[in-house]
Amino acid sequence: MSAIAVERPGANRGLGALVRGVVRAVALVAGLALLWGLWEGYRWLGMRGQWTWPFPVNETTMPHIHTVLRAFDQPLQPGGPPLRHYLFHYALFTGKEALAGFALGALIGFMLAVVLAHSVLLRRGLLPYIVISQTVPLLAIAPMVVVGLGTKGVQPWVGVAVIAAYLTFFPVAINTLRGLLSPDPRAVELMRSYAAGRSKVLWRLRVPASMPFVFSALKISATASVIGAIIGETPASLQGGLGYAIVNFNQYYSIQPANLWATIIVCALLGIVFFLAVVVVERLVLKRAPENFA
């Protein structure tokens, strides 16, 4: 009696997920090693050839990568905690502001897109001003927002969150509007033929169709909210965020450049954390989409 091999789809999917995870980990390590090599190689060539364009290459402008990483363990003051202790708390503070701004901006952008999707007149009248709002330099708006809200008794970090929301709402509004208008007009007419009102067409057809567009915008806005929070901390004079750390370490850059580069790394990591959080939520939401159960 011959044995019959039974294929187990669940086991194959688990093995495939494991292989993909290993491949991604290897690719991540290889990418970091490549960036490390490019940095050190450019540094070696620049110092050997005494390059001055686009900037002079020396110990100050391009410190060793391992020197920057070692700075995380160095205390800012003799006997004090290491740099990573301060940067961790700075990142938490800035992350709170960015998260509040991200949530506020995403909500405003989504609601604005819903309103514009139901009125051609409003789209033609308001959309140009929404686009123009993003052409104003953030460095000019940030002081006005922070100082203006400060005169009303609002906490400075709230003003910083508003600045982060300012950078967040635009991509969410534009992409969500495009997603809400993406369903086939015949599908909209079919729902209306069954006496479906605007709210049912919105939540049963337009919103599900817009989810890929929304999450694409949220990925962009996630990192933009971190940038807005960091920039907004400068006029707010907050002594507890990554913006404060950048301004502070910039004053001592000529003698301790590694501290500023370490802060830049933490800023990048915070943006990556926000981006990955949106990716996780996207997979959970889109995994439950009706087309995935067919």
Q: How do the pLDDT tens digits run along the chain, 294 residues long?
A: 445 555 555 556 677 778 888 898 999 999 999 999 999 999 999 999 999 888 899 999 999 999 999 999 999 888 889 999 999 999 999 999 999 999 999 999 999 999 999 999 999 999 999 999 888 888 888 888 888 887 788 888 999 999 999 999 999 999 999 999 999 989 988 888 888 888 999 999 999 999 999 999 999 999 999 999 999 888 877 788 999 999 999 999 989 999 999 999 999 999 999 999 999 999 999 876 655 433
Q: Give the per-residue pLDDT at 195.
A: 84
SS3 75: strand
Q: Give the per-residue pLDDT at 111.
A: 96
3 found inside a domain: no
Instruction: Identify whether residues 216 and 137 lie together within a single domain.
Output: yes
Q: Give the per-residue pLDDT at 290.
A: 53
Instruction: Identify whether residues 125 and 164 lie together within a single domain.
Output: yes
SS3 184: coil
CATH, residue 184 = 1.10.3720.10
What the block records as the tokens of 276 is 């990955």
Q: Give the per-residue pLDDT at 9.
A: 56
73 found inside a domain: no
User: How many structural domains does the chain have?
Assistant: 2
SS3 63: coil
d(CA 48, CA 56): 11
Amino acid in position 16: G
Nearest alpha-carbon partner for 222 in 268, 264, 283, 155: 268
169 is in which domain, residue-wise? Answer: 83-293
- Kindly calculate the radius of gyration of the chain based on its CA atoms and give it in whole angstroms: 25
Instruction: Identify whether residues 256 and 132 lie together within a single domain.
Output: yes
pTM of this prediction?
0.88
Q: Give the per-residue pLDDT at 11.
A: 59
230 found inside a domain: yes
Instruction: Identify whether residues 42 and 121 lie together within a single domain.
Output: no
Instruction: Identify whether residues 41 and 173 lie together within a single domain.
Output: no
Q: Return the C-alpha torsion angle 67, 62, 87, 91, nearest 10.
A: -140
Count of other CB atoms within 10 angstroms of residue 262: 24
Q: Give the per-residue pLDDT at 1.
A: 46
Instruction: Identify whether residues 50 and 158 lie together within a single domain.
Output: no
Measured CA distances, 111 to 31, 68, 114, 125, 173 (Å): 39, 44, 5, 17, 8
d(CA 200, CA 222): 29
Instruction: Identify whether residues 281 and 162 lie together within a single domain.
Output: yes
CB 165 within 8 A of CB 222: no
| Block residue for tokens 């050839």 | 49
